[in-house]
Amino acid sequence: MVLEPAEDDAVMNKLAAVHDRLVAEKKLGPSLRLLPTTAATTLRSGLVIDGPFAETKEQLLGFYVIDVADLNGALEVARELSAANPTATYEIRPVALYNPETRADAFTQSVKTY
């Protein structure tokens, strides 16, 4: 679903309120908003293809990393986010830290683009 700019701003403001509370409670890790699929590049079988050609019915817009005790805590946060943005679907998955950030010059608050 594509929102008009004013609708998108309103949703982002509601989400910001949830984000601010999670930051204050020290529960929010990184959260990212992905660029549109028109900016995508796909790698399949060693071949680089311009465009969004991953096989999915729904597109991933972004993700949150939250620090909660259990699935019930994650569901509580997902319900708050869903109340702020009722058109979104939230899939909850536990994560395991694969490679922690070790670069001394790693960015924390900025957005890198290419």
107 lies in some domain: no
Q: pLDDT tier at 14 (50, 70, 90 boundaries)? A: very high
101 lies in some domain: no
Please give the structure tokens belonging to residue 64.
Answer: 């949150």
| CB neighbours of residue 64 within 10 Å | 20
104 lies in some domain: no
Contact indicator for 43, 37 with CB cutoff of 8 Å = no
pLDDT (tens digit per residue) in 39-84: 666 666 666 666 655 566 666 777 888 888 888 898 989 999 989 9
CATH number at residue 38: 3.30.70.1060
Distance CA 108, CA 49 (A): 30
Contact indicator for 88, 82 with CB cutoff of 8 Å = yes
Domain total of the chain: 1
Q: Is the pTM of this model over 0.75?
A: no
